[in-house]
Amino acid sequence: MKKTKYNVAVIGVGVVGIEMLRVLKQRNFPVGKLTVLARSARNINVDGVSYPVQAVSNEAFEGVDIALFAGTEGEKGAAVTYASEAVKRGAVVIDNGADFRMDPKVPLVIPEVNAKDVKKHKGIIANPNCSTIQMVAALWPIYQKAGLKRVVVTTLQASSGAGKSAVEQLKEENSIIAKGGYENVHADLLDRSMPQQLAYNVFPHIGGFSDFDYTSEEWKLVKEAHKIMHDDKINISATTVRVPVRTGHSEAVYIETDKVISPEDARCALSKSSGIIVIDDPKNSLYPMPKDAEGKDEVFVGRIRKDPFVKNGLWLWVVADNLRKGAATNAVQIAECVISN
């Protein structure tokens, strides 16, 4: 697919779709014609730029080279209905939803980890889950150097990972508490998208509960990591937690490596890796935080420390903007890989 310009469609104008429009512009993707599609036609404004939105249809994909589906976690996304039609018309579909991720015929790609898998696509490429992207991006340099036996991860996931309605719920709950006190939240908040109160609270419930009482979000971390890294022998266990943060997921990641690797060597391997920024000076209160990652495309790693009781055990603290590297940026990076092949 060698051209100087590419016709791009962005499907969905929620928080991820909006971020895709930003990222395309900021990364100077060689866009010829840009088409924005959603359930209904309207105009939207993003950073002072007006975008006409068309109602999505099969015919809207005529002449499209790259179709970026924003996806909706936990629901069947538009790609289920329209991806095959887009591919028939010559487009490469990059889907941020969960529907194709575990399809053995569909590559699941983090460009810094397995960019070569892009070449295997048959029209559709899947974007991994946001929490998977930042975890695997941080694990990959260590995996290459020392191997991995075990990963135990607890995620602290921002409200924006559940969409615009969850961000609004957090904002509204904070406002209600500030005005009238904690006890008024349940009485005053009529429109709740989260299963629990989000403001001033955390809860370990992201996705539906399934096998072994794990949530679907927890299984994504396991199964997607295995597929991306081409290694299903790594023992991975996860707990996913929703926290009252607007944007930016944090993860406490414990690993046991095949070979012993010191924190210093792990720090060095991560620092040399594309897309990773190490911030690791806890004595001076320097470590990754979601407020600092918001709006950035890198994965930030800190608190790299040895387990004093297990010789091949290490802890990592991993933070990234879930709307950028966790979704929109990774999808556009995949598109960059597609047009470079």
Q: Which of 272, 268, 249 is nearest to 324 (CA)?
A: 249
For residue 314, give the CATH number of its domain.
3.30.360.10
- Identify whether residues 181 and 286 lie together within a single domain: yes
| Residue 130 bears catalytic tag | yes
Residue 189's pLDDT is 61
- Identify whether residues 76 and 178 lie together within a single domain: no
The answer to whether residue 93 is domain-embedded is yes
Report the domain count for the chain: 2
268: containing domain? 133-322
CA angle, 152 as apex, 303 and 129 as ends, to 5°? 90
What is residue 34's DSSP assignment? E
* Distances, alpha carbon 16 to alpha carbons 183, 228, 231, 321, in Å: 33, 22, 29, 11
- Identify whether residues 51 and 121 lie together within a single domain: yes
Identify the residue whose tokens are 């889950």: 129
Residue 9's pLDDT is 98
| Residue 268 bears catalytic tag | no
Please compute Rg for the chain using Cα positions: 20
The answer to whether residue 1 is domain-embedded is no
Question: Which one of 121, 186, 249, 268 is the catalytic residue?
Answer: 249
- The four Cα atoms 107, 111, 116, 117 give a dihedral, to 10 degrees, of 0
Residue 193's pLDDT is 83
Residue 209's pLDDT is 96
Mean pLDDT by 10 residues, the chain (341 residues): 91 95 98 96 96 96 97 72 96 96 98 98 98 98 98 98 92 88 66 86 96 96 98 98 98 98 98 98 98 97 98 98 98 97 79
Question: Which one of 121, 130, 186, 226 is the catalytic residue?
Answer: 130
Residue 76's pLDDT is 66
In angstroms, rounded to a whole number, what is the distance separating the alpha carbons of residues 94 and 330?
A: 10
Residue 191's pLDDT is 66
Answer yes or no: are the C-beta atoms of 175 and 183 closer than 8 Å: no
Residue 315's pLDDT is 98
